[in-house]
Structure 1
Amino acid sequence: MDVTQAVRTLAEVLPAHEAPSAATPFGRAARDFLYGEVWSRPGLSRRDRRWVTLTCVAAADSPQPIEDHVHAALASGDIGLEAMLEFVLHFAVYCGWPKASHVEGAIARQWDRIHRERGEQTTAWPQLGNDALRPAAWDGTARTRRGGVHRLNLTPAPPMNSPYQHAGILNFVFGHVWQRPGLNRRERRIITVASVALDDSPVLLQTHVRAALHSGDLGKEEMDEIVLQFAAYYGFAKGEALADAVETAWASKAELTEPTH
């Protein structure tokens, strides 16, 4: 293990964060494994790794890591303010509005901090008009909305037989959120996969991992790196469940592409 490289990677990932003390097993592992091996691996961009990490620390209700990783993502320029705010909405859908509110508060604090550190006046957040709500997505027919679910999840759309399915899943989640600009579909897949993995949602986990791989939005090697990044920040037990879902989905994709005789 190149300790110098690990410390350098830590300084790049969390520029305002002191290196963990090597006097404890946790500190040595954080330095040598987390920054020396995980964050420095190829296969995912640093921006992609930030999406997985932000999802994990936000869902874990980890106050200081949330502040640290929001600051680092914004200060480094890896993620811009508008993309970060769009992340909050997508995260809210899959991990809950109270947790998303906490993240948005951290974004406000760290956005102000960054400008103060640079000796600049804090710039205002973008003011959104009603056109940002994309009303066309809400005005579509039920058939169109159900078709959108099928295109994204590669599974039949749910019936419109409850408020959850009708107003929540069909209209809001797939009729609106997944159609919004600000994040591309691949990034929404990364955030969603991490969210359903930590939510202990086995059906949704299989569904979203399968859709990400079968659609081609994420490749197998990329998904394997997501598994490792996720396990580092949310635990290897949940990481194992995500890894199993990836292998199952990948095997089913191979079966679909095998030539028939």
Structure 2
Amino acid sequence: MFSKFTLAAVAALGLAGPVMAETLKVGVSAEPYPPFFTPDASGSWSGWEIDLMNEICTRIGAECVVTPIAWDGIIPALTTGKIDMIMGSMTITPARAEQIAFSDKYYAAPTGLMTQKGSDIEPTAEGVSGAFVGAQSGSIQEVYANKYFADTAGSIRIYQNLDEELQDLAAGRLDAVIGDTLAMQPFAESEAGQACCEYKGAVEPDPEVLGYGAGAGLRQEDTELLARVNKALAEIREDGTYDQITQKYFTVDIYGD
């Protein structure tokens, strides 16, 4: 026969309900970055990276909440506990790896230069001589532009997001934009982009600045979570889910070598 204590314990367990999934706040740039992540009018986020994030979170048994953060403050937000993970097309670089841990790479794209159509600007230090070049604040492209273009360009102009840069390029307020090639692709293929502008190719590689592809950023002490994310990423790549997600947004291989 059950004691009163046992019955009370069972009732308490019943009232407690099912165990809730782990909740993770996943940081993305507050500035939209299509086709990787962008909000709609209601504030719901979608895009290639959001789909990948949701798949990872399902496989690690976590409920993930997209949390927009200004890009130049996203690493401090992670290290101080305001968010639990970054999935915002953050490139793995030696400098960033001193502050946070990274998952395995989940995509890679060259950094390239977009210019006005017919321009003789090229993606080299000499090729941008006298040009007004746009770069996104806090990005590896800003670091690269300051390292290689600052001495020759007319000006390096810093923007909060790529969309603003491309709008100014189309309007003639910039001569060139340095950015992630994949992120610039939708604009380059659009009617407006084809009318005004052209892609001039990738800049010379510099792994110390441009890194080794994009990965999820985590706190260095969160080793168990890192292992789970890497395991999920490997499974997603191996079982074809990665390709299924990618084909919704891209017509080229984005994983890279």
The TM-score normalised by the length of structure 1 is 0.23
Q: Going by fraction, where is helix more abundant, 1 or 2?
A: 1
Query: Larger Rg: 1 or 2?
Result: 2
Q: Going by fraction, where is strand more abundant, 1 or 2?
A: 2
The TM-score normalised by the length of structure 2 is 0.23
